[in-house]
Amino acid sequence: MNNQPKPNSLFSKISKGKQKIIQKIQHSINHNKILSHRLIFCINSGRSGSNYLSELLGTAEEVISYHEPSPSMTGDYLTMVNKSEYATSFSKRRFKSSAIKDILLKIPDDKIYCETNHMFIKTFFDVVVQDFPKIEVIILRRYLPKVLKSFIELGYFSDKNQAWKFWMSSPNAVTAAIPCIDVDVNLDQWDLSIAYLIDIEARAKRFQQEYPGINTYEVCLEELNNFAKVESLFEQLKISLTDSTKKMYTQKINQRKETKKKYSGKQDISLSHCQERIEEYIQRANDLNISIPTTLALESY
């Protein structure tokens, strides 16, 4: 009996072998391309100017900047980290890394990927730190009474606006970085908002402690109206200023005035009252021996 393989069968085996080799080579090329990119993320609370920061960084020659790109990691991903430790949902949330890899394969090798997404510190910082070697993080702060005022006017942490539940973590989340003064149901909109904002600051400090090898750059939104501060940030990030940068830094930040009217109505919310409520919360926390971060943006610029 003739056991010699038929010509077509032999050709098929050789072709499949070549295909596997080509696939391995392509995989190696893609892997190296992905790992060669620098990635910049942003820790912020929301309503702190992250969209403006994205546009500002996007004016640099080297940067391709995204503000909360898909998947934004809200909704179900937030529920996961509200209810369980990060390790429990790590593999599911790694979906974000896959999406970023797809983007990195499409952009030029010399470009820096930048994403200003307030969900970073809540739902996906750990997966991207695990999967990408060249990560840097900007910690963006804004005068806290202004952030609180915006939260209240937009109906966050209240029944007036149901959308916030998809992206604002509970101050009593399992993954919170600081104890809250009470359970959610016992706190009003003001205290829930303040507790959330303080927790974001505590998460930022925890991130710095857990990842000392990752460079972090701390900046206040109000400082970015000073071109010298913009120059300093760009210099720290080793990115280049352009004419577009000089035009961009003077633009006004989105105030969402119409949306705020929808939820706050005629309610007059003063910055001084916001300051008072923050001070009251901090005092209650101190009475419970809760150590509040000293880096809160409590000074006006």
In one-letter notation, the amino acid at residue 71 is P
The whole-model pTM stands at 0.88
E-strand spans in 49-163?
63-66, 112-115, 135-141
CATH 3.30.310 fits 36-287, yes or no: no
Could you give the CA distance from residue 175 to residue 122 in angstroms, rounded to a whole number? 8
| Domain spans, the chain | 36-287
Could you give the CA distance from residue 298 to residue 301 in angstroms, rounded to a whole number? 10
Token output for 296: 């809160």
Helix and strand totals (H; E) in the chain: 12, 5
In one-letter notation, the amino acid at residue 65 is S
Give me the sign of the Cα torsion angle 157, 140, 107, 20: negative
Per-residue pLDDT of the chain (301 residues; tens, 9 = 90+): 556 555 566 556 667 766 766 565 445 546 678 889 999 999 999 999 999 999 999 999 999 999 999 999 999 999 999 999 999 999 999 999 999 999 999 999 999 999 999 999 999 999 999 999 999 999 999 999 999 999 999 999 999 999 999 999 999 999 999 999 999 999 999 999 999 999 999 999 999 999 999 999 999 999 998 999 999 999 999 999 999 998 886 665 555 455 555 555 557 899 999 999 999 999 999 999 999 999 999 998 7
Q: How far are the Cα atoms of 122, 254, 270 from residue 207, in angstroms, in the given order?
A: 11, 28, 32
